[in-house]
Amino acid sequence: MTRDWRIDGVVDAARARVATTRLAAAYGVPVRERTRLAADLGARLRTCLTKGGTWRLFVQPPAPGVREGFLHVTLVPDRETSAAGEPPWHTGVACPEPADVPPGDVPQDAAALAQALLDADEDTAVVLGKLAEQEELVAFHREELHQTNQGVLVLHAELDAAGLAQREAFAAERAAHTEAEEARRRLRFLADASAALTASLNHEEIVGRLPELLVPRYAGSVDVWLFDQEEDARRTAARPAAAVLAARTGRPQYAADHAGRLPGVEDRPPSVLDPGRPLLCLPLPARGGPLGVLTLSPPPPGTRWDPDDAVMLIELARRASNALDNARRYEHNRDIAETLQRALLTELPTTPGLRLAARYLPATRGLNIGGDWYDAFRQPDGSLITVIGDVTGHGLRAAVMMSQLRTALRAYAVDGGSPGRLLTRLHVFLHHLQPDLYATAVIARFHPDDPTVTWAAAGHPPPVLREPDGRVRVLDDKPGAMLGIPLDQEIADHTVRLSPGSTLALYTDGLVERRAQGIDPGIERLAGTLGRFGTDELDTDLEGAADRVLGPMLSDSERDDDVCLLLCHIDGGSGPVPGQRAGARRAAARPDRARPRRH
């Protein structure tokens, strides 16, 4: 049921406001919404009173029995007044409960209005109490929010600090990773450079490899100053003062117009010879004293050396010095070995109707000296003894033992005796002289009045005989055992007839034996090579034939054993061979010229 009030003045407005508030209370409108409704309606009524005229207030409650309806309040001007034409004002509030008995109108007497105003103050007091509670709650939450904000700020600060620490840790990790990579690169370079330097035993090759290793990554230019092998022109060449100081003190020097601050390196003024270019002078130390100085200029484009690079370069100089020292020691020992080997070579004698040609090649690994030897000499009865032998082992000890066997054989041959008897005596001699050394040998005896050759072998590869018609025989009659073994033996002689134009080849196992094939295939290759020669070719050029035998037999680039070859050719004509003495000297000297050097 809609309620309405006519409002002409302040009293009508107060009565209408009080009635509307009571009606809202009757329908269960909460105090806060009821107070807000009263305040809004009061403000609107004051505006209407200010404008003047007559107004009508309509309040429409929910229908009877309806729960949770709306209380609609509408304020409109009266049509017959001057306020006509003003827009109406409307509001509504929810009513949780229905009112069984709506309140009546507010009386017009002053006491009733005063009581109504006091009742309105109670609602206001309730709202103000709730407002105070809300303000306390807001203040509490404000403080709580402030504390939370402080915590968030602290958390943000901690997160920022953690982020900074993490970034610093990442940066340190990247720096450590980069440093580790650089250190790994330097170590790998040192390992590769050391392998390259120690792979050669020729000091000139080692010196030539240093610029290849250092330019352009670690140096713009490289100069190697060696003290003991300079030409006269280079001895008088001017050297930077820092290089001279490094040679005298044995300490690395850095010459530049700025301080290098390199670890282990002394700073010096720039070189007068080249003041615009920094120089790093590194001594080359060795066991017997300094070998020289390695002088480097910075890598392009004129950058400075890193301290770690300087440490690596000092270590490289030390390793290069060791490689140079080892190469020089090896070259010195090799020269001694070659001199000794040349002294042990035999000058082949001249015999009418017999040509001799010998070749000796040392192993291509290690020192060029070994236990292989050949010899040829006359006995008192005019016969010619030719011998070829091999002492087990390699090096100086084997060469010394070979020399003793050769001397002993010549001494025993003065008393005469057949090849078998001479080998038997050598066997006893070696067994008592050096029980832990053994040897093999073949002795062939030629007599000018006898068209036969008597030979004997002790553990040695068999002689190969080429007959004048080109047929080749391997003289593999039963040989004796190796010389020096703990065994009593009498080595037997063997005799074979020789025709003019025949060639007997004596050799050591280094010529025919290969690890992967054994010795028999090599003997077959030697026989085939001899069979391809013509008799006239052997008559006229035995020296060249010896070289042509070695060619196909030594196609290997490297040999593990010495090679010795002695060709004995019966001349197809008669009488002495012209120029035999000169040919014998060439045969003795040729091994020295043909000796390859290992670099």
The pLDDT score that the predictor gives to residue 574 is 39
**pLDDT on residue 537:** 87
- pLDDT band per the 50, 70, 90 thresholds, residue 545: very high
Task: Decide if pLDDT at 346 tops 80.
Answer: no
Q: Is residue 275 part of a domain?
A: yes
Residue 483 DSSP code: B
What number of CA atoms fall less than 13 Å from residue 467's CA on the CB side? 11
Q: Which of 353, 348, 349, 347 is nearest to 577 (CA)?
A: 353
CA nearest to 280, candidates 299, 293, 258, 296? 296
| C-alpha to C-alpha distance for 146 and 152, rounded to whole angstroms | 10
| 334 and 351 together in one domain | no
Given a cut of 60, is residue 577 above it in pLDDT?
Answer: no
The token pair at 528 is 């085939």
Give yes or no: residues 548 and 417 share one domain. Answer: yes
Q: Tell me: pLDDT of 200 over 80.
A: yes
Q: How confident is the model at residue 560 (pLDDT cuts 50, 70, 90)?
A: low
Q: Is residue 444 part of a domain?
A: yes
Q: Tell me which of 58-72, 192-206, 453-467 is least confident.
A: 58-72
For residue range 72-114, list pLDDT tens digits in order: 999 998 876 666 667 889 999 988 877 665 666 666 666 666 6
Asked if 475 and 447 sit in the same domain, the reply is yes
Domain boundary among 108, 136, 168: 108
State which of 339, 361, 381 marks the end of a domain: 339
Is residue 231 in a domain? yes
**63 pLDDT tier (thresholds 50, 70, 90):** confident
Query: Could you give the CA distance from residue 237 to residue 282 in angstroms, rounded to a whole number?
Result: 19
| Residue 144 belongs to a domain | no
- Chain-centroid distance of CA 340 in Å reads 44
CB-CB contact of 409 with 427 (8 Å): no
Residue 127 lies in a domain: no
Q: Nearest-5° angle of CA 190, CA 192, CA 195?
A: 105
Tokens at residue 279, please?
């120089």
According to DSSP, the residues that pair with 281 across neighbouring strands are 253, 295
Residues 335 and 467 in one domain: no
**Average confidence (pLDDT) over 329-350:** 76
Q: Are residues 317 and 352 in the same domain?
A: no
Report yes or no on 173 lying in a domain.
Answer: no
Q: How much is the average pLDDT of 402-415? A: 90
CATH number at residue 576: 3.60.40.10
Residues 335 and 351 in one domain: no
pLDDT of residue 107: 65
235 and 288 assigned to the same domain? yes
* 450 contacts 461 by C-beta, under 8 angstroms: no
Closest CA to 239 of 295, 199, 277, 172: 295
Query: Are the C-beta atoms of residues 374 and 387 closer than 8 Å to each other?
Result: yes
> Is 584 a residue whose pLDDT tops 50?
no
Give the count of alpha carbons within 13 A of 353, CB side only.
19
Arithmetic mean of pLDDT, 472-497: 92
- Domain count of the fold of the chain: 3
Q: Domain span at residue 556?
A: 347-594
For 294-310, the pLDDT digits (tens) are 999 988 776 788 899 89
In this structure, are 261 and 299 located in the same domain?
A: yes
Residue 263 sits in a domain whose CATH number is: 3.30.450.40
* Backbone φ, ψ for residue 591 (5° rounding): -60, -30
500-524 pLDDT per residue, tens: 999 999 999 889 888 777 888 889 9
Among 80, 108, 136, residue at a domain's last position: 108
Does residue 151 belong to any structural domain of this protein?
no
325 and 356 in a single domain? The answer is no
- Are residues 329 and 416 both part of a single domain? no
- Would you say residue 133 has pLDDT above 60? yes
In a domain, 128, yes or no: no
pTM above 0.75, yes or no: no
The amino acid occupying position 206 is I
Dist. CA 556–CA 62, nearest whole Å:
123
312 and 454 in a common domain: no
Q: How far apart are CA 267 and CA 245, in angstroms?
A: 11
Question: Strand, helix or coil at 454?
Answer: strand
Residue 185 CB neighbours (<10 A): 12
Q: Give yes or no: residues 249 and 276 share one domain.
A: yes
Distances (CA, A) of 22 to 13, 68, 69: 14, 17, 17
Task: Specify the pLDDT at position 576.
Answer: 39
pLDDT at 445: 96
Q: What is the mean pLDDT of residues 225-235?
A: 62
